[in-house]
Amino acid sequence: MYKILKKKVLNPTVVLMDIEAPLVAKKAEPGQFIILRTHEDGERIPLTIADFDRKRGSVTIIFQVVGATTERLAHMEKGEALCDFVGPLGKATHTDGLKKVAVVGGGVGCAIAYPVAKKLHGLGCEVHAICGFRSKDLVILEDEFKKASSNFVLMTDDGTAGKQGLVTNALKELIEAGHKFDEVITIGPLPMMKFVCLLTKEYGIKTVASMNPIMIDGTGMCGGCRLSVGGKTVFACVDGPEFDGHLIDFDEAMSRSNLYYHSERRKHEETCNLFKKEVK
């Protein structure tokens, strides 16, 4: 069993948890993910590792409440335990030799971008972190990003925090100001990553995008996480989750990600109603 050591609500729909998982923490690296089950009959869901503490033997996960399992997970409290917590899975972010990088995150994807920025900053890389949110109420990890970057730019759609606009606006400003990046790493909603990659392609800047499609077994056997990259079929769980952003078929990925939207919402509503009945 994997005990919840800490729980913190970051905004109305995003929750941070530290999980006691010493073997996972021992091997974890930025960019990798875990698969968990809240209870024996629960579904398996993938969550990217947001941070880890090898000495403490803990792994941090940050998740958005969107479906039945994340709703159930959000109702768990410190001291309770998860049934399964398997990992680390996937390939770690490539950081060797990078001297100047832009890390571009959007929404809850910033939780995945943070450990990448943190590691690069710790290696002496000049990190320009750009984080985008819809509004001030949804901003997460602002202080953490400021510590893990040489330059931090906060963007919000409505201008209630940081600068108003899109992350692509901020990235374009940096590029046109003369910043020459060895690489751009982008993590967030698929449409955001698509347009970041379209922008960097114009300037010939290598770009890596972190993909989080539907996953089931996390070993490449089920094929549920397949993507088209450079005209070839790859599996995000074993070949990724990071790929050359200029080669990803984002339109196909977005189409596949919407396949289970309605059933996911229905299950989420059923789970919410279940907890409401328990409270009564």
Look at phi and psi of residue 90 and say left if phi exceeds 0, alpha if psi is from -120 to 50, else beta: left
- The per-residue pLDDT for 274 is 54
Q: Alpha-carbon distance 131 to 118, whole Å?
A: 14
Question: Sign of torsion, CA 142 146 148 154?
Answer: positive
Q: Alpha-carbon distance 221 to 107, whole Å?
A: 30
Average pLDDT, the chain: 89
Enumerate domains of the chain plus CATH numbers: 2-89 (2.40.30.10), 93-210 (3.40.50.80)
pLDDT in tens, 86-143: 989 989 998 889 999 999 999 999 998 999 999 999 999 999 999 999 999 999 999 9
pLDDT in tens, 196-250: 999 999 999 999 999 987 777 677 777 778 899 999 999 888 888 899 999 999 9
The alpha helices in the chain, defined as continuous H runs, are 22-27, 68-74, 110-122, 142-147, 167-176, 190-203, 236-239, 250-257, 261-279
Pair type for strands 183-187 and 163-164: unpaired
